[in-house]
Amino acid sequence: MYRWCTDEVEPQERFDYWREVRAKGLFGVTAELERERRADFFGEFSLRQLGAGGLVELKASHYTVERSTSDIAYTPGDSICVYQQLGSGGWFGGMRGSDFAIANGSFATSHTDLPYRTAPLGAGGFHLRILKIPVSRIPAQDRRIRELTPKTFNDHALAPLLAACFADLGEAAAGDDGAADATSLVQASLVQALAHLALIERGIVRPGSRLGQAALRTARLSQARRLIARHLQNPDLAPSMVADLLGVSVRHLHMLFEAAEKSFSQTVTNERLKRSRRLLREAPERLIADIATSCGFESLATYYRVFNAAYGMAPGDFRARVPEGH
């Protein structure tokens, strides 16, 4: 991962450096800000290469951005971008279509080599994630991909799937469990799913096609796992409950997990154990029975049996081995 922040530059030079080196050189855009406001400018970003795509998270105080025809000629990208708005909202304009606003938590898609202007709404500044995927790395090849002017994601059924994939992609990038090959495969699968979900929403990939079905399977599995995590405390957490929330049949839900490393029930148990381990470390004063209940185990006896089977020790012994302050 590459990180950079304007704190590394003298205050009077921060916006000029951001505009010439970061905005124009790295992102291929023209940044503008009134001269009297430049002394207070702040910006930071991170860049991670994930599978075929690059994931940028950017935070910055208020300024305006333009991707002009000269910017495009200077730094052509030939990629599609999926934007996730995390701040107070943003405005896009200057395209062949109509101007639009994008709210916090919403998504937009575009091809990099079409002109646009954008600015944050209000005084809060920018905060967004951008997944950039080269067109050459997208299996669905269609000339219409290069005609994608910026547009919000308006399909309310697909948006939660997109959010789940984005969240999983961020966690896969941040994780370091030693399984580098497995992590790379997960990242590549999520990047492809996000690209094809965006193309489904824009009418370029059919949901029932091979690529569309693969993207929907990956995304639904991501969302199912997030629904499990959200409802872990419920001891009655069952496939029927998650299937209803996901909008699929129980049979379809089990098919999603058949292609994964763990079944539905194994995933639930594993997530409950992981959460209990974290609580054992972070809350040494909390009763083990209370931790078991809060993680959805139906009884203390069940919790001890499952924990011992997984880790070869009782929860109390695990807690005793945790170094103080960890």
Helix axes 300-311, 264-282, angle to 10 degrees: 90
As a whole number of angstroms, the distance between CA 279 and CA 242 comes to 24
Res 259: pLDDT: 84
CB neighbour list of residue 64: distance below 8 Å, 6 or more residues apart:
31, 32, 33, 117, 118, 119
Q: Which residues of the chain carry a pLDDT beneath 70?
A: 95-97, 173-182, 324-326
Res 16: pLDDT: 94
- DSSP letter (8 states) at residue 71: H
Return the bridge partners of 129, or none: 57, 84
Res 87: pLDDT: 85
Res 176: pLDDT: 47
Model confidence, pTM: 0.87
SS3 call for 259: coil
Question: Would you state the structure tokens that stand for residue 291, as one six-digit string?
Answer: 């931790």
As a whole number of angstroms, the distance between CA 42 and CA 17 comes to 11
As a whole number of angstroms, the distance between CA 201 and CA 185 comes to 24
User: What is the edge-to-edge ordering of all strands in the sheet holding 30-32?
Assistant: 30-32, 64-67, 116-120, 90-93, 100-102
Helix axes 180-201, 159-174, angle to 10 degrees: 160
As a whole number of angstroms, the distance between CA 22 and CA 17 comes to 7
